[in-house]
Structure 1
C-alpha cells in the first residue's frame, strides 16, 4: 500500500498554525506536537524550519504584530485624517473583536510578562497608542491631550473586548454606542 505523500510545509504554514493555536488557547497552546498533528506533519518538518518552540512563538507573535497592527494602520492611513480615520479605527477594532487577532491579544494578556511576549506587547501598545495620538492631534488636540485620549480610546477597546469575551450579553456594541464613544473621545469640550 502506497503511503500518501505529504505536502511540504513552509515556515509560514507553521507560523499561521501557531498563531491560530495562540488565538484559541494562549501561549500554552503553541506546542509543537499538537500543531504538527493539526497540520498532518511530523516534528521533523517543524525542526526543518525552526530551532525550537521559542522560535515558533516569536514568529507567531511577529505575525500578529504585522497583521493586526501594521497592516491595519496601513489600511486606515489611506482614509482622510481626523474623524474618518478615528471612526474606522474604533469601528474596526470593535467589529474585529472575535477575529483571531483580537482573540490572540486577549489570550496573550495572562502571559504579558513572558520574555517573548512582553516586548511584542510593548511594541504593539506603543505603536497603537502613538497612532491613535496622531489621529487626536489631527483633530486639534495638544500632544498631551491627544496622548490622554489615545490611552482612553485604547483602554476602552481592551475593556470592551474583555467584556464581550467574558460576558457577551453585557457588551453594547451597537452603532449608537460606537457613535457615543467617538463623540466623547473626539469632543474638545469633554475632558479626557
Structure 2
C-alpha cells in the first residue's frame, strides 16, 4: 500500500492530525500506523520530520490564505458590484478555525512554524490593505484598518465563543461599516 500513497496523502493526514492533536502529534510512527503502513513510506516521501513539517506549513498557507484570496478575486471578477471585503469577511469568519489555532500554538513553540505564521500574517495584512486601498482609503488609513481587521479576525479565531449566524453577520456588517467609513 505504501507505493500507492503520495506525499499529499501524508500532508493531508498531517493537517488533520495537527488540527485534532496539535503539533506534538506530527510524528512519523503514529502517522504511519494511522495510515496502515510502515514508517518507510513516510521517509520515501520526506527526507525527515523537518521536511514534513515544512510541507504541512506550506499547505496550511495554501489552504488558509491563498485559496481564500483566490476565491475573493474570482468572485470580484465574476460578480461585478460584489464587495470583496464583505466576501473576505464571510469566507474567513465563516470557516472553522481549528487548524488556525493549532498552527498558532505550534508557532509559539517552534521557530520554523513561527516564521511561517509571520509570513502568512504579512500576506494577509497586505491583501486586506490592498482591498481597502481599492475601496478608496488613503495608504496610511488602509494600513491601520487592515491591522484592525486582522486583529478582529485573530481574536475571533482564538475565541471559543460562537454566535448564531444572524448575530455573527450583524457583527461582520458593523465591522465592515466601521472599516470602510
The answer to whether TM tops 0.5 is yes
Residues 92 and 169 of structure 1: CA distance in aligned 2, closer, same or farther (over 3 Å):
closer
In the alignment, structure 1 segments of 5+ residues that lack a partner are 188-192
In structure 2, C-alpha distance between the alignment counterparts of 1:152 and 1:40, rounded to whole Å = 46
In structure 2, C-alpha distance between the alignment counterparts of 1:87 and 1:151, rounded to whole Å = 16
| Cross-structure match for 1:112 | 107
Instruction: Please give the secondary structure, in 2, of the residue aligned with 1:78.
Output: helix
Q: CA deviation at 1:79?
A: 3.1
Alignment of 1:34-45 (within 5 A): 34-45=30-41
Computed over aligned residues only, the root mean square deviation of the Cα atoms, in angstroms, reads 2.2
User: Residue deviations 1:24-53, cap 9 Å, x none?
Assistant: 222112111221122111101101111111
Q: CA deviation at 1:75?
A: 1.4
In structure 2, C-alpha distance between the alignment counterparts of 1:58 and 1:123, rounded to whole Å = 13
In the alignment, structure 2 segments of 5+ residues that lack a partner are none
In structure 2, C-alpha distance between the alignment counterparts of 1:182 and 1:25, rounded to whole Å = 34
Give 2:69's match in structure 1, choosing from 68, 73, 80: 73
| Cross-structure match for 1:190 | none
Alignment size in residue pairs = 177
Question: Are positions 1:178 and 2:172 aligned together?
Answer: yes
- What TM-score, normalized by structure 1, do the two folds share? 0.84
Instruction: Please give the secondary structure, in 1, of the residue aligned with 2:93.
Output: helix
In structure 2, C-alpha distance between the alignment counterparts of 1:49 and 1:186, rounded to whole Å = 47
Q: CA deviation at 1:137?
A: 0.6
Residues 174 and 130 of structure 1: CA distance in aligned 2, closer, same or farther (over 3 Å):
same
In structure 1, C-alpha distance between the alignment counterparts of 2:158 and 2:143, rounded to whole Å = 22
Query: Between Structure 1 and Structure 2, which shows a larger proportion of helix residues?
Result: 2
Task: Give 4+ residue runs of structure 1 displaced > 6 Å after superposition.
Answer: 169-172
